[in-house]
Structure 1
């Protein structure tokens, strides 16, 4: 082989080695995929969020006693503290669990016109929400879900016995917004409509067994503080 051939082979070998060395260096410079935990640390955002609200419970006040025309039930309104816990599956989709407890004074406002008793209510509500993310710090949302109303610690007024308001499963609708002050803290306003129509019964010393449909259907109107982890 002549001298020129040897030189060409050496030049090709050197160029190949340089090419592979450059490729290896470029591979080293390619960023590795970011693990979810590292990405969360980098953005400062967690999928978890909590809110603490003051909540007004405004009832519909309709019902019946033994199917008597003109009989009617009323349920007292109340103001309670409330906690909700949210988990964001994406920036737009979240699930929210609402926790709180309240009571209602039950009164027959129609034909009889007497107080019946009091029942405490634990109404955990789970909604699936859509959050709008195109308005900067203003973050409105809508939601729909299910409510389970658990009545407990029921007590009767004089003359009544064996008050029993049945537990109930119903639908819930929701609309509200967060206004974020910074990445973690914000203020919240929220309105829910709970569809709650349950059966009740009680015994009266003079009137005997009483029963009917309690149409409570409360509005839950709340405002409070949001914290995004």
Structure 2
């Protein structure tokens, strides 16, 4: 996978840089809070039809909308170079039809909580410049996932996206302004996670589809270290 290769290359670069890295003050025990603007860029493609009592058109396919949303993270430094980070935020997405479903909104205004915990390795590349890589588990929680306006006239009354576990890979850099505790952060995550969308008509399931999400989640913002 390209994302895995990119992050592996980043890891190799950090490992090479580490012996010569300039060392800032030890951050063991520090807490860093980040406030970010985040672009959530999912796929949303159907990769399997589990069952279809509805009669989906031939070549039916879907795509999920992108979204920009505020997020926050909190990070604890176990040692100078290792930390644990979790994020908080909600992202809203539609699922729209393409191919045989072109022009139809399939899922409307679904809300996503991407619960994530990553373990991160940091390098003091230069004074105030701290690139990092990370990885960890994620759990996507969906709510307010309603049938879209494009399929409700066809008799579908409800849609449900399954909550699922997955994995997140992460890379980024923190820039610190002297000893002020204030800085700027750039962060990129790639999630590997799917969901199953189940559609019903008056309480009876009529079709279900498995979807690849695998979003890129790109963030920029400010950080505060205590």
TM range (shorter): 0.7 to 0.9
1:65-95 CA-to-partner distances (Å, cap 9, x unmatched) read 7367622111110000000000000000000
The answer for the alignment partner of 1:23 in structure 2 is none
1:100-151 CA-to-partner distances (Å, cap 9, x unmatched) read 1011101221213221122111111100000002421110000000111000
1:187 and 1:54 mapped to 2: Cα distance?
12
TM-score by length of 2: 0.76
Gaps (5+ residues) in structure 2?
1-24, 51-55
User: Is the partner of 1:60 in helix, strand or coil?
Assistant: coil
User: Is the partner of 2:43 in helix, strand or coil?
Assistant: coil
User: In the alignment, does 2:144 pair up with 1:153?
Assistant: yes
The answer for the alignment partner of 1:218 in structure 2 is 215
1:117 and 1:53 mapped to 2: Cα distance?
27
1:135-185 CA-to-partner distances (Å, cap 9, x unmatched) read 211100000001110001122223322211000100000000001112201
The 5 Å alignment of 1:40-55 reads 46-55=29-38
2:28 and 2:162 mapped to 1: Cα distance?
42
1:66 and 1:123 mapped to 2: Cα distance?
24
The 5 Å alignment of 1:121-136 reads 121-136=112-127
User: Is the partner of 1:125 in helix, strand or coil?
Assistant: strand
Give the stretch that moved more between structures: 44-53 or 194-203: 44-53
1:170-201 CA-to-partner distances (Å, cap 9, x unmatched) read 00000000011122011000000011211111
1:117 equivalent among 107, 118, 131: 107
Count residues in correspondence: 186
Cα drift, residue 203 of structure 1: 2.9
1:199 equivalent among 187, 196, 199: 196
Q: What value does the CA root-mean-square deviation take over the aligned residues?
A: 2.2
Q: Is the 8 A contact 1:200 1:212 kept in 2?
A: yes
Gaps (5+ residues) in structure 1?
1-41
Q: Compare CA radii of gyration and give the structure with the larger one.
A: 1
**Structure with greater contact order relative to length (CA < 8 Å, sep ≥ 6):** 2
Cα drift, residue 46 of structure 1: 4.9
User: In the alignment, does 2:174 pair up with 1:178?
Assistant: yes
Q: Is the 8 A contact 2:48 2:211 kept in 1?
A: no
Moved over 3 A (4+): 42-46, 64-69
Q: Is the 8 A contact 1:48 1:228 kept in 2?
A: yes
